Amino acid sequence: MAAMSSADQIAGLENVGLSYDGGKNFILRHVSLTLHKNEFVALLGPSGVGKSTVLRVFMGLTAPSEGRVVLSDEAGKLPQEKTKRRKQALVFQDARLMPWRTVAQNVAFGLEGLHLTREEKTSRVLQALKLVGLEQAAERWPRQLSGGQRQRVGVARALTVDPDLLLMDEPFGALDPVTRLNLQDELLRIWEQTHKTVLFVTHDIEEALKLATRIVVLSGSPAGIAGVLEVPENQKDPLSEAFRINSARLRAMIAGEADPGGAPYWYSGQI
């Protein structure tokens, strides 16, 4: 992985392809994507297209067969033994909490291996729990939490390592609609407070339009980037005509059809 030269770039994929059988069949092909500081990017596409795989490539959990992953070096300037933060953190679809650990202990799990004092770890955990509104639940056990609260713990665990890039793999997909809407609002508040770069995987068009400043569509077989839609703040009202038009554009991208609106912020192919 190479260091990036542009000051506002956090991470990127350059012409990435992924095959598990030596190149006979590709899951991803020719995927290029750049993520910038403080932006909220939704990776949108149908179930099974490879969105979660893209997150695994960014995390370094899966090595690409072609191309390369590019990361900023801001989190890597200190020697490994002095590192106090991580470049990336991943929030899963289910919180994956350890039932034998309290809420605070689950949040602290991500700090293991970092060069932090006990006081620094405690401070990080309490700050993260306060950010997600669970500071009063620090000593509870996972079984005592609702589904939405467990997901908040997962977000807190990711934030406590102070990542440059927060990767989220359909974190609200298993929740009921009311809880899901509430956590979407909470996530936007957290993003605005922390200024993290977020890459959020979803197959829900309305969720992508509500949350993201930019939506990247992954489709096809092998999967590639079909297009990107910039989402200005004044186009996020689900009752607006702009929201309806953008929904139609995203459906067209996913289906591989022509853009029905011809908007200037539609781009086809690599980004």
What mean pLDDT is reported for the chain? 88
Residue 208 has pLDDT above 90, yes or no: yes
Residue 40 has pLDDT above 50, yes or no: yes
In a domain? residue 43: yes
In a domain? residue 189: no
pLDDT confidence bin for 113, thresholds 50/70/90: confident
Q: How many domains, the chain?
A: 1
> Residue 173's pLDDT is what?
86
Question: Are the C-beta atoms of residues 103 and 134 closer than 8 Å to each other?
Answer: yes
d(CA 240, CA 238): 6
- For 99-108, 236-245, 251-260, 262-271, which range has the lowest pLDDT when averaged over its residues? 262-271
> Residue 260's pLDDT is what?
64
pLDDT confidence bin for 240, thresholds 50/70/90: very high
Q: Taking residues 15-43, what's their average pLDDT?
A: 93
Q: What's the CATH code of the domain at 11? A: 3.40.50.300
d(CA 82, CA 173): 37
Range of the domain at 31: 1-72+197-271
In a domain? residue 114: no
Answer yes or no: pTM beyond 0.85: yes
